[in-house]
């Protein structure tokens, strides 16, 4: 299986972005656990991303090509309009592209709309690769802030929801997706959106947290309030800073804040020199601090939380949440006790947890088993993989015929090549057997594409694709 991965991160340092890490963890899991070899084409901005990835898992990067592009280039991505550039078509369109792609995994939904357009094939719709978005940012469109949101932006997000296969965190998120899509999309697409939206949790690296907990020196000596995440408007970090500051004015506590970025516009750190603020933290650094902290707070009003608060709960940090529907939905309807309705109640709850810490820990002891049993990456990634594999299989099963003449050309080439061969060798023989043959289907619809040849050899003739190079190599399947 060949996957195009596009983690369209808003951070310059991709290796510290939670959604990028989610995709990278999944890719590494597939290399170790998938039923068939897997190859990845990664589109990433900037050389630093390339260097970070090259330093990671050696086994994994045997099976992946990194395609980086300059920060100001519009070859792949135009930041102003969130549009992928034409290189997507040149490299990955199944009719004309250089590389065969079975499926696409990417974020966010709005950008996915444009990627789908570049990869679209109106002549043979089965050739449109399935696009998957793990845990798209699902906004609460009932919130006042989003009622004033630019209608074009809401429309683009809605088209994205209706165009892709997506894994949302809860039934409440699915309800929000459907509520927004109904306002902008035709009824037939609304039905398709419902079918393509699966409730599936975000994979949490419980194994990594368990390892850190084993090595951890324990909780900080001084009672510690913790925040780990982006310092931005969406997370209401300015409100969290205000609450922590008020707690500090009353009690002798430790304030630890970590972020994966290197700046904030929400507050001036110089005004809070009594806070321990750690910039540009990677996952390991952030988790080690989370494991040692006592209390964390989530203050977002209009998006459900991602990996960070699950990780903090599993690490043994008590997390306070706003009293919202998405919180109950994320816990499967089970009552999570520490939910506040406003600033006054949040402050009172923080003080209560501080004074009754051991009792409060016992009240949420069940969350660790809940996360391990339902959210651990081993379980979640198995579901991701099954969903992608099923979509790729269904797509091939529903294909149009590539034509008897094309099949005879490929059969003849493969018979001559034997048990192991490269796609370049297939290319050479097909042209040799038919001097009028042209992979490009722009002139003659009966001519197959490289992607169709790749899939026929792999799925029609039963060869194994080794997935060790950007261009496919094949070997005979001993079971065929």
Q: Which of 200, 128, 185, 175 is nearest to 154 (CA)?
A: 185
- Alpha carbon distance 209, 230 (integer Å): 20
pLDDT per position as a tens digit, 385-426? 999 999 999 888 888 788 888 899 999 999 999 999 999 999
Could you say which architecture CATH assigns to the domain 206-375?
3-Layer(aba) Sandwich (3.40)
Predicted pLDDT at 81 = 46
**Exposure of 248 by Cβ count < 10 A (0-12 exposed, 13-18 middle, 19+ buried)?**
middle
pLDDT-based confidence at residue 59 (cuts at 50, 70, 90): low
Half-sphere exposure of 347 (CA within 13 A, CB side): 14
Which pLDDT score, from 0 to 100, does residue 71 have?
Answer: 64
CB atoms within 10 A of CB 233: 12
Query: Would you kindly state where each structural domain of the chain is located, as residue ranges?
Result: 2-201, 206-375, 401-475
Interhelix angle 343-355/237-250, nearest 10 degrees:
50
| HEC-encoded secondary structure of the chain | CEEEEEECCCCCCHHHCHHHHHHHHHHHHHHHHCCCCCEEEEEEECHHHHHHHHCCCCCHHHHEEEEEECCCCCCCCECCCCECCCHHHHHHCCCCCCCCCCEEEEECHHHHHHHHHHHCCCCCHHHCCCEEEECCCCECCCCHHHHCCCHHHHHHHHHHHHHCEEEECCHHHHHHHHHHHHHHCCHHHHHHHHHHEEECCCCECHHHHHHHHHHCCCCCCCCEEEEECCCCCCCCHHHHHHHHHHHHHHCCCEEEEECCCCCCCCCCHHHHCCCEEECCCCHHHHHHHHHHCCEEECCCCCECCCHHHHHHHHCCCEEEEECCHHHHHHCCCCCCCCEECCHHHHHHHHHHHHHCHHHHHHHCCHHHHHHHHHCEHHHHHHHHHHHHHHHHHHHHHCCCCCCHHHHHHHHHHHHHHCCEEEHHHHHHHHHHHCCCCCCCCCCCCCCCCHHHHHHHHHHHCCCEECCCCCCCEEECCCCC
Query: What is the rounded CA–CA span in Å between residue 345 and residue 337?
Result: 13
Identical fold for domains 2-201 and 206-375, yes or no, is yes
Instruction: Please state, rounded to an integer, the average pLDDT across all residues of the chain.
Output: 85
Instruction: Compute the distance between CA of residue 269 and CA of residue 309 in angstroms, rounded to an integer.
Output: 23
What pLDDT does residue 61 have? 61
Q: What pLDDT does 181 receive? A: 87
Contacts of 426 (CB under 8 A, 6+ apart): 410, 413, 414, 417, 453, 457
Instruction: Pick 17 or 40 by higher pLDDT.
Output: 40
CATH of domain 2-201: 3.40.50
pLDDT on residue 141: 60
Q: Which of 36-50, 269-283, 445-459 has the lowest mean pLDDT?
A: 36-50
Q: What is the CB neighbour count within 10 angstroms for residue 130?
A: 19
Strongest mean pLDDT among 47-51, 345-349, 431-435: 345-349
The residue among 331 and 346 whose pLDDT is bigger is: 346
The rounded distance, in Å, linking the Cα atoms of 128 and 121 is: 6
For the cut 90, the answer to whether the pLDDT of residue 458 exceeds it is: yes
């Amino acid at each position: 299986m060949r996957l195009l991965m596009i983690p369209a991160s808003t951070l310059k340092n991709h290796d510290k972005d939670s959604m990028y890490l989610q995709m990278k963890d999944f890719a590494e899991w597939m290399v170790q656990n998938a039923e068939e070899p897997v190859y990845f084409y990664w589109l990433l901005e900037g050389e630093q991303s390339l260097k970070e990835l090259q330093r990671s898992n050696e086994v994994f990067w045997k099976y992946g090509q990194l395609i980086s592009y300059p920060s100001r280039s519009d070859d792949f991505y135009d930041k102003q309009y969130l549009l992928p550039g034409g290189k997507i078509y040149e490299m990955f369109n199944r009719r004309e592209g250089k590389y065969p792609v079975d499926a696409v995994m990417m974020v966010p939904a709005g950008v996915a709309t444009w990627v789908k357009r570049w990869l679209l094939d109106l002549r043979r719709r089965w050739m449109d690769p399935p696009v998957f978005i793990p845990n798209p940012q699902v906004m609460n469109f009932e919130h006042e802030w989003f009622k004033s949101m630019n209608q074009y932006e809401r429309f683009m997000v809605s088209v994205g929801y209706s165009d892709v296969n997506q894994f949302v965190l809860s039934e409440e998120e699915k309800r929000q997706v459907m509520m927004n899509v109904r306002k902008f999309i035709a009824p037939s697409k609304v039905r398709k959106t419902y079918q393509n939206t699966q409730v599936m949790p975000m994979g949490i690296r419980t194994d990594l947290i368990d390892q850190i907990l084993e090595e951890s020196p324990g909780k900080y000596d001084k009672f510690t309030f913790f925040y780990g995440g982006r310092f931005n408007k969406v997370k209401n970090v300015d409100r969290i800073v205000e609450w922590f500051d008020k707690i500090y004015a009353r009690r002798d506590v430790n304030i630890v804040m970590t972020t994966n970025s290197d700046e904030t516009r929400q507050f001036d750190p110089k005004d809070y020199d009594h806070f321990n603020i750690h910039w540009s933290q990677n996952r390991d650094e952030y988790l080690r601090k989370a494991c040692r902290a006592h209390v964390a707070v989530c203050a977002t009003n209009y998006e459900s939380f991602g990996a960070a608060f699950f990780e903090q709960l599993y690490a043994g940090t008590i997390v306070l949440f706003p009293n919202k529907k998405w919180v109950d939905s994320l816990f499967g309807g089970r009552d999570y006790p520490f939910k506040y309705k406003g600033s006054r109640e949040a402050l009172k709850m923080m003080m209560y947890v501080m004074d009754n810490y051991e009792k409060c820990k016992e009240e949420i002891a069940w969350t660790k088993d809940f996360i391990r049993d339902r959210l651990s990456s081993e379980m979640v990634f198995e579901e991701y993989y099954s969903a992608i594999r099923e979509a790729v299989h269904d797509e091939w099963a529903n294909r149009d015929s590539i034509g008897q003449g094309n099949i005879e050309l490929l059969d003849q080439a493969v018979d001559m090549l034997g048990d192991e061969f490269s796609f370049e060798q297939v290319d050479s023989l097909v042209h040799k057997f038919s001097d009028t043959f042209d992979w490009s289907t722009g002139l003659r619809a009966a001519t197959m594409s490289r992607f169709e040849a790749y899939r026929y050899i792999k799925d029609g003739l039963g060869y194994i694709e080794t997935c060790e190079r950007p261009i496919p190599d094949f070997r005979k399947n001993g079971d065929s």
